Structure 1
Amino acid sequence: MSQCPPDGNGASQEACGLDDDQKFWDRRGWLVAGVWVIFLVFPIMDLLVEDYPLSTRIIGLGMVALFAGVYLQSYAKFSWTIGRGGTSTRRAHVNFLILCVIILVGIPVTGLTAMGLFPFITSYAAFLLTRKWLIGTYAIVLVLSFALPLAFGRFLDAIFLIGLNIVLMVVYAITVAAISRSASAEKIRSDYLLVAEQERVARDVHDGIGHSLTALNLKAQLALRLLDEEDYGQVRGELEQLSALAVNALDSVRTTVQGLSRQDLAAELAELQQACTDNNLEFTVAGTAEQIPLTLRSHIAWILREAVTNVLRHAHASTVVIHIGSTRVSVDDDGDGLQPNAVGHGIRGMQERARQFNASCSVGASRLGGTSVQVVFADKGKTQ
């Protein structure tokens, strides 16, 4: 993975880590600059065709070669700044000034032909330097594009070069704005994905580990009661289940960290039945896990776990009934019912998870007298 080059203060660039679109500019941005080297044909042809002394031609061609080398090397080194507001490093400014000096030295020798090099410095300023340098460069080039033809008395002959420079400055500005907007959109997308991942981890920790800790607590309380009753054989069984639940909790932590969804709906139903049986709740399931579309089973498993965990924690119920269909799942209990202002993290978590697969999750009164959780989703066809 490529690293972000440092900025002018030596700090890492904040935009490091953008995806393939930005990586292109990081690694291949100098190729864009390479295309414009074709414009160097104008000063080269002028030096070769016009009546210059041999020494002037040699020096001139050497300066053109130096110009091309500095230009391409600068893009190769600083193309990571394209779309990020430019760089303020000393090296970038020194290279830019070298290009400007070569052009200024060439003006007395080649005259208006030197205007053919203006697109290089406007490109450099637009793509690689900060806005302050861009505005200054554009202003100077715009003035020189009109002043030089007037000074040499060849304004009509330079109309093409004047128009070319103006058009390219506009093109550069629009291109930089488009790239910057794309980079900003990618940054916003990255921030959104980060927040979404944080919410997923928080929800998974609450749903998975919260359920496991609740089961551990209930098992521990049961083991303590059995100890008071001196039923040591049953205590041993409960402690063994405590150990198994702890292993499952650790597995849930690993799953959350890895970003995986290990929930198997059929296995989850079996675990919920065991948890309810251990706590003297009658547990009934109408329907089977196979009725749920395969892609939704993990989500449904999480929601059922949260709903039943809430019953175990708060409802003081004696019966839990789960209905499973191809487009709907419900959890009903005969407990205390939903209390006013009782919408907490668990209910919000179920609703947020339902929205992940375009479903609705509502919580209300149950026909059994307690609370009912209803999840309605689209029928995505039969699973294989």
Structure 2
Amino acid sequence: MANHPEHCAGSIYSAKSWVWLVFSLWYFFPVYYMPMTPFGKTLLVGAYLLFVSLYLWAITLNAQQVWKPILGISLLALAITPYTPGSGTFFSYVGFLVGFSYRTKIWLAVTAFLTFMIIGMHFYFKYPLPYFAFPALSGLITIGIIGYVEKLRLEARISQQKSYQEIEQLAVIAERERIARDLHDILGHTLSSIALKAELAEKLLSQEKHEQVQQHLSELHQIARNSLSLVRQTVSGYKHRGLSGEVMELCEKLRQKGFLVDLQGDIPQLTPRAETALILALTELTTNVLRHSNGNHCQIEFSQQGDKILVSMRDNGEVKTLVPGNGLQGIQERLYALMGDLQSSVNKGCEFIISLPRNELQQQGS
């Protein structure tokens, strides 16, 4: 029905939690087999509207505050039971809220108390078994179990995401240490050699040994050029892992945030300039999905159509309008420089289609 782990600071119930209210219409079923006065029907409708208000309030609260609507729904069911056995429907929602919001001992204790209360009301008001006690108890217990299991599942998912984040942080730290170690190995010896050569050249110059000074300066020049070339080679390895590696990394980021990712088509080999532009574009689009989409599915597709290379990215978030910001404008500018384009549309989610000219393809082994 909803998402509401106890340790979270605010409510993270699903935006569609109100849909589950459709099952509460069973509350009106006794109208078809029990005679009711106009006052009784008015009371029935009024109690139902109050229940809906309490439920909608509950799905906005965290676990520290949700006891208030839970208590309200329970008292409402107790008050309306003398007029209709349909009040048993309310206990299904109470069961889920308690099972999802609280830990095992509290959930079991509250469920046991409500069970005895339902049985007591059943015998006190002398309702036939199928009309009150059975639906009330079955809903309280079974839906409560569903809520409890859903809470455990969500807690496990949050714990897994935290583990992924910790792994990412450790990977970043390890990468920084590797870069620092590489730069130290590359530049430490080189700068020491340069300092030594410069010191020798200075001493020889003071002794007017110009030929030896010229030799040291030539060696100094060669050391500097070799070091510059080595630094460039090292830094180029840090820039990115190629289009395939970056796409896989973006897919993993989406999966870690709860998205089901569908990667289709063959990732093409592009020229370095086109590859960099496409990596930056997909990174920006992925960031937009993670920040603004409330969906749970994303599709990335590579294809070729005529003289164009197409890359589409779709998600199933609920978006009515799309207002391009600086990020999308930056993508457009980079693609225009390559004679490419970016098209966007909104239809049961956002869809972005990147097109590049086919001449940006890089042949295998070239």
Deviation digits for residues 252-281 of structure 1, max 9, x if unmatched?
Answer: 78986xx7469xxxxxxxxxxxxxxxxxxx
Aligned length: 233
Match of 2:72 in 1: 98
Match of 1:87 in 2: 63
Contact 2:54 2:69 in 1 (8 A): yes
Contact 2:96 2:145 in 1 (8 A): no
Residues 211/36 of structure 1: CA separation in 2 closer, same or farther (3 Å cut): same
Residues 247/200 of structure 1: CA separation in 2 closer, same or farther (3 Å cut): same
Alignment partners' CA distance in 1, 2:159 and 2:219: 58
Deviation digits for residues 123-143 of structure 1, max 9, x if unmatched?
Answer: 112223455643343222232
Alignment partners' CA distance in 2, 1:251 and 1:145: 75
In structure 2, the gaps of 5 or more residues are 206-211, 243-268, 270-363
Match of 1:228 in 2: 203
Give the TM-score of the pair, scaled to structure 1.
0.49
Deviation digits for residues 195-251 of structure 1, max 9, x if unmatched?
Answer: 122212212221234422332222222222222222655549837965996898799
Deviation digits for residues 143-163 of structure 1, max 9, x if unmatched?
Answer: 234333233334632434433
Residue 187 of structure 1: how far off its partner (Å): 2.0
SS at match of 2:83: helix
Contact 1:47 1:60 in 2 (8 A): no
2:178 to 197, 203, 206: 203
Match of 2:114 in 1: 141
RMSD across aligned positions (CA): 4.1
Which portions of structure 1, spanning 4 or more consecutive aligned residues, are displaced by more than 6 angstroms?
246-256
In structure 1, the gaps of 5 or more residues are 17-24, 79-85, 263-293, 295-381
Contact 2:88 2:135 in 1 (8 A): no
Aligned partner letter, 1:199: A
Give the TM-score of the pair, scaled to structure 2.
0.51
Alignment partners' CA distance in 2, 1:108 and 1:53: 14
Alignment partners' CA distance in 2, 1:243 and 1:226: 18
1:177 to 145, 152, 165: 152
Residue pairs, 1:5-24, within 5 angstroms:
none
Residues 107/253 of structure 1: CA separation in 2 closer, same or farther (3 Å cut): farther
2:52 is aligned with 1:68: yes
Residues 210/35 of structure 1: CA separation in 2 closer, same or farther (3 Å cut): same
Alignment partners' CA distance in 1, 2:178 and 2:163: 22
Residue pairs, 1:1-384, within 5 angstroms:
26=12, 29-31=14-16, 33-46=17-30, 50-75=34-59, 77-78=60-61, 87-88=63-64, 90=65, 92-110=66-84, 112-129=85-102, 133-154=106-127, 156-157=129-130, 158-230=133-205, 234-235=216-217, 238=220, 260=240
Of residues 123-132 and 235-244 in structure 1, the stretch that sits farther from structure 2 once superposed is 235-244
Residue 177 of structure 1: how far off its partner (Å): 1.9
Alignment partners' CA distance in 2, 1:246 and 1:141: 76
SS at match of 1:51: coil
Identity of aligned residues (%): 12
Match of 1:20 in 2: none
Alignment partners' CA distance in 2, 1:245 and 1:73: 66
